[in-house]
Amino acid sequence: MTINSSLILLSPSDIAELAKVSRPVVSNWRRRNEDFPSPVGGTDARPLFSQTDVIAWLQERGHEVELPRPDAQLWTLLNTVRGAAPLDGVTRLLLALAALKKQNSDNLELLIALEPGKQAPAVREMLTTLRNSVPNLTPGSDLEVLEVIDKKALSQLINTIAGIDTDQLAETTDLLLERVTRHQVKSGGEHGFIGSRTSRLLSALAQGVGGTVYDPASGIANVLLQVGTSGKATRLVGSEIDPAAIDVAAQRAYLRDLELELHLGDALAKDPVPDLTADTIVIEPPFGMRWDSAHADDDPRFSHGVPSRIEAELAWIQHALSHLAPNGRAFVIAPHSRLSELTSKNKIIESLLLGNHIESITTLPANMLPQSHMTLTLWALRPAEEGSLQVRFIDARDFEDPEEALAGWVLAEDSAGSELAQAFVPNSELLKGNAPLSPSKWVSDANVDEDKIQEDFAGALAAVLSSPLADPGGTLLTEKFSAASNPGVVTIDELASQGTLTVVSGHHRGIRELPEKYQNRTVKPEHVSTGELPEPIPQNVAKKYDLELTKPGDIIVSATRGLITVVDHEGSRAISPLMTVLRVEDPEALRPEFLLAALSGSWNNRPNEPRSIMSMRRVRQAEIPALTPQAQATLVNELNKVRDIEETAQKLVSQAEALRITILDGIRYGVELDPSKASAQ
C-alpha cells in the first residue's frame, strides 16, 4: 500500500522509527542541521513534520527509508487531524471505512471518485446501508467526527483504507487500535487493551473449556475475538455498557467473519441475557468501580448476598455463577487489593466456600496490563458440586510469560511435578475464624521446609554458643524447646473479637487541627522504625481536639514495609493514620512480650507480599501461634536471652567501629596510641 505523503505528518518518534535510529539521534539532527525540515504543525513540545520533506532529507544523506507497515502509516496519518478532531472519533471512522471496504471494495472506489465536499454525506449513507444489511452491526452510528474533520483529511483517510488489502483489514485496524490505546495510556484501556496479557490469559483459559463463551463486560471484545479466531467456541456472547465499545467490537468481529452476539446495557443492573447458560465465562471488570446495589435485593443472581457498593467484583462473580452450565468454568481477573484481601468472615465469601464455588485463586505476575503495575489475581469458579472441597492457591508472580502455561495449570486438576508454587487448602480450614484468601499466605505455609528450619537453627545456635562473649553463663537453650505439633494460629482480628486485645487504628480526627507545636508529636512510621517516639501530648490538649492517645504498654505497629513494632512505655501519644495500636486486655492469656515477638516472625513479614495489601489489613491478618500461657512464658524467657546476645553483639560492633576510626585518626594526625591504657579503663 502506498499513501500520498503530502498530508502525512510525523512526530520525532515517528521519524526515529522511519529512519531506524533512536529518538536522541533525531534530536541531534534537528539541533545540528540547519536544513532539517521545519515543523509544519503540532506544538513546541510535540512538533510535527511533513513526511515528504523528512523522507527527502533522509534520502539526500544516504539513509535507507523503508515505509512503515499500514498500521504505522495510518498512525502517522492521524497526526494530520489531531487537534481538529477527537482521536477516538477518527479511529472509529477508520474502522467504519474498513467495514465498508470489507462489505464491498467498490464502496471506497465510489467515495474516491466523489469531490471531497461530498464524501462525508456519502459515507453516512453507505454506513446506513451497511447497518441495515448486516445483523448486529452498527458501524459509526454516532460518527460526529464527520461534521468536524477536514475534507482533505477525510479524503486521505478514504484513500488510505482503500489501499489496504481486504484480508489485512482486521490485523491492520487492530494494530492501529493498539497504538491509540497505548498513546492514551490509562484512559485508552478502559474497554480493553488489544494485545494485553490479561486478554491472552483469559482467551487461553476459554479455549481450554470451549462451548458457549460469555463475557459480560466485553468492552471491544478482545477475549471473545481471540477465542473465536481459535475455533474453540461454538457461540460467542458479550455485553457492554458503552455503545461506542459495542460498535468497535461488532466491526472487529465483522472484519474477521465471526458471529458475535452483543448486548448493550449494564449487566449488573439488569441481566441482559437472563436465559443464557454458558460453558465458559470470562470477566475482566472495570477496576475500582462502584456499583448501584439498590436494585439487587430481589435479584436471584445475588443469592449469596448483595455486595456493598465497593465490592463490585463479588457482584460480577455471582453474575457469572448464575449463568454457568453444570460443568462450566468462570474466570474473573481483579486487583489483588479487591478480592484477595477478603476473608472468610465476609458473608458472601463464606457462602461461596460453603457452596464449593471457588476452585482456585492465582496471584499473577506484574505488568499484566500495559497501563498499570497493580498486582492482579485470577479467580477460577465452578458451579455447586460435591467434588474437591478445597481451594487451590497459586503464586505465579515469578513467571515472566505465564499466559499459555498458566492457563494449562489452572485448568488441570493438579500440577504435580510442575514449577508451580501452590497449596491446596480445605474449605473447612478456610471457614475457620477469619482466614485470608491471599495465595502468598497459603503457598508460603505449604512450602515450609522443616528440615531446613532445624538445620538453620542448629547452625545458628552452634555459632552463638562458640562465642564466650555471647553466652558466658551457658544457659541458652540448654534443653529442647518446641511447641505442640502444629499448634495452630490465631489472627489479630480473632484475638480482638475474643476481647484478648484491642485494635486502635490511626485516623485524621483532631490531628489536622492540632496547633503547630504539637503537629510533630504524632507517631509516624519513621518513629517506629528508629524506636524513637516523639514527646507525649498533654491530656488537656488531647481532650480539646478529641484525640485518642496511647496507654502505657501499648504496642505501636507500622505496616508500610512489613510489620515493625515499638512499645510505648509512657503512653499519651497520638498516632498517624498509617499506624495501628495493639493493646493487650488479658495479659494472663496473651503476654505482651510474646505478642511483640510473634509479630516479628518471618511468616508475618513475607518479603514478596504484594504491596496492595493495605497496612491495616496486614496487621489484622497477622498470625500469632496459639501457645499456652506457660509455653509463652518459656519462649519469652529464651528470646530474652537471645535479645541480650543481640544487644551485646551490637555494642561490640559499635565499639569495634569506634576503634577502627580512632586507629585511622591516630595515623592521620600523628597521635601515639598506647594499648596499655585500655586496661586502665
- Lowest-confidence segment of 4-13, 29-38, 379-388, 557-566 by average pLDDT: 4-13
DSSP reduced 3-state for 584? strand
Mean predicted confidence (pLDDT) in 568-592 = 91
- CB < 8 Å & 24+ apart, contacts of 440-448: 440/363, 440/395, 440/606, 440/608, 440/609, 440/610, 441/606, 441/621, 442/393, 443/393, 443/394, 443/395, 444/603, 444/606, 445/603, 446/422, 447/421, 447/423
Strand order in the sheet with 564-568: 501-505, 579-584, 554-558, 564-568
Please tell me the distance from the alpha carbon of residue 476 to that of residue 258, in angstroms, as a whole number. Answer: 74
Say which CATH topology domain 191-445 has: Rossmann fold (3.40.50)
**Closest among 141, 158, 180, 8 to 98, alpha carbons compared:** 158
DSSP letter, residue 123: H
Provide the pLDDT for residue 486. Answer: 58
Mean predicted confidence (pLDDT) in 336-355 = 82
- The CA dihedral of 93, 98, 99, 104, to the nearest 10 degrees, is 130
Q: At what angle do helices 70-78 and 87-103 cross, to 10 degrees?
A: 140
**Closest among 182, 160, 156 to 169, alpha carbons compared:** 160
Mean predicted confidence (pLDDT) in 1-8 = 48
Mean pLDDT of the chain: 84
CA 461 from centroid of its chain's CA atoms: 42
Mean predicted confidence (pLDDT) in 347-361 = 93
Per-residue pLDDT of 484-517, as tens digits, reads 555 677 888 878 888 999 999 887 777 788 888 8
User: How sure is the predictor about 324, in pLDDT bands with cuts at 50, 70 and 90?
Assistant: very high
The CATH code belonging to domain 488-626 is 3.90.220.20
Which amino acid does the sequence have at 439? P
Please tell me the distance from the alpha carbon of residue 236 to that of residue 215, in angstroms, as a whole number. Answer: 8
Say which CATH topology domain 9-68 has: Arc Repressor Mutant, subunit A (1.10.10)
Residue 665 confidence (pLDDT) above 60: yes
Strand order in the sheet with 233-240: 261-264, 233-240, 211-215, 278-283, 324-335, 376-381, 358-363, 390-395, 421-426
Provide the pLDDT for residue 608. Answer: 55
Alpha helices in 256-399 (DSSP H): 312-322, 336-339, 347-354
Per-residue pLDDT of 445-496, as tens digits, reads 777 777 888 888 888 888 887 776 665 555 666 666 665 555 677 888 878 8
Per-residue pLDDT of 510-567, as tens digits, reads 778 888 888 888 898 899 988 899 999 999 988 888 888 999 999 999 987 778 899 9
Element (H, E) at 426: strand 421-426
Q: What is the pTM of this model?
A: 0.74
User: How sure is the predictor about 304, in pLDDT bands with cuts at 50, 70 and 90?
Assistant: very high
Please tell me the distance from the alpha carbon of residue 469 to that of residue 465, in angstroms, as a whole number. Answer: 9
DSSP letter, residue 343: B
DSSP reduced 3-state for 77? helix
Residue tagged 487448602 (cell numbers):
425
Provide the pLDDT for residue 352. Answer: 94
Please tell me the distance from the alpha carbon of residue 30 to that of residue 37, in angstroms, as a whole number. Answer: 8
User: How sure is the predictor about 612, in pLDDT bands with cuts at 50, 70 and 90?
Assistant: very low
